[in-house]
Structure 1
């Protein structure tokens, strides 16, 4: 069942419709040929699905050198002006150069860190025995691109019953404009529709609905309810990344030892 009015407070940006709750019947049937990746792992205890907040990687690392050169161009202009006129440059020129240098440095650092510091995969584990999910989650802060504490991987643990899935679509800055579709997962305060956290789940609504349906089927019925995938799981940590500098520099997935053991086992 798809809901025509938002159930959550507040709905996700670009809300389109809500997907069935965790213990309701799935709204669609997973079709392996449509899904971009098979599960990373599935057994009687847990299901692990691949996840990526960025759809395209490898552009930022090549943009960064040009942005750095651009940032140096602003103070170089001020110096050249001062040498040419043998006098102090106008305050307005210094201010513009300073703002340009800061903006270019901010953009270059942000693009570089987003491309190279995000892990190769951001998997999510659904533990049927514990009725919990474990999210390997890359946190970043665009307002603090130079911060060490605001950037990095943390594992978040949530109760399965507190999850809600939402389909969203927004128009992004893609030249003349482009529609970006996603499925996000929200965590609600138990017994309410109040959202306490929200994170990306899948790109494209159709794929997101199918992956959500897989999670529902696994948590409700077990691994035997999942479709059969002909392709083997992708080894994100050891894939061939020679031709993608961003993925080559990206850190491998490494779960904290205690969380790794808990997320893969029954109580």
Structure 2
């Protein structure tokens, strides 16, 4: 019996304003099939296909009420509202404020924003042993170049 216990270290998103594209390190897995390898499929979508969805989950525990929430980026089929893919913005510790920041960047450019903090190395996982064993984030060379340059 083989179990695949190697999700990626992170699921980064890249936004290229010049190309009006979103690039995602898309992590696909089937929780119900321990024999299937978990796959990372880098994908790119036009900015016009991106929507944000806010979610809220409430639940009771022995100590009281727990409320969790976040934002996911949904990709819709062009010309429709049919969702074809989703990426959690919350895995980056982000929320609705991050969505507003991203929209401002994509629509008005970096001059309309306060300067960002230092860039994050998605392979720097500190001393988290589980993540140290996970495969490193590695974009395909052609997508890495496209996501960092203008047309």
Query: Separation in 2 of the partners of 1:190 and 1:236?
Result: 30
Is 2:95 the partner of 1:208? yes
TM-score normalised by L of structure 1:
0.50
1:136 aligned residue: 25
SS state at 1:240 partner? coil
Once the 2 structures are TM-superposed, how far is the Cα of residue 174 of structure 1 from its aligned partner? Answer: 6.5
Q: Name the residue aligned to 1:162.
A: 49
- Compared CA separation, residues 146 and 183, structure 1 to 2 (3 A): same
Instruction: Compare the two structures and name the one with the higher strand fraction.
Output: 2
Q: Number of residues paired by the alignment?
A: 150
Question: What TM-score comes out, normalization by structure 2 length?
Answer: 0.84
1:123 aligns with 2:12: yes
- The alpha-carbon distance between structure 1 residues 204 and 248, as it changes in their structure 2 partners (threshold 3 A), is closer
Q: What is the CA–CA distance in structure 1 between the aligned matches of 2:82 and 2:120, rounded to whole Å?
A: 36
Q: What is the aligned counterpart of 1:185 among 49, 62, 73?
A: 73
Whether the 8 Å contact between 1:182 and 1:204 is mirrored in structure 2 is no
Q: Which runs of 4+ in 1 moved over 4 A?
A: 172-177
In structure 2, the CA distance between the partners of 1:214 and 1:147, relative to structure 1 (3 Å rule), is same
Unaligned runs of 5+ in 1: 1-104
What is the aligned-residue RMSD (CA, Å)? 2.7
Q: Is the 8 A contact 2:11 2:91 kept in 1?
A: no
Q: Give yes or no for contact 2:56–2:70 (8 Å, CA) kept in 1.
A: yes
* Equivalent position to 1:252, from 125, 128, 136: 136
Partner deviation per Cα, 1:44-71 (whole Å, 9 max, x = no partner): xxxxxxxxxxxxxxxxxxxxxxxxxxxx
Distance 1:204 1:126 in 2: 14
User: Following the alignment from structure 2 to structure 1, what is the Cα–Cα distance between the partners of residues 39 and 124?
Assistant: 21
SS of the aligned residue for 1:130 comes to coil
Classify the secondary structure of the residue corresponding to 2:42: strand
Query: Which one of the candidate residues 84, 91, 94 is aligned to 1:196?
Result: 84
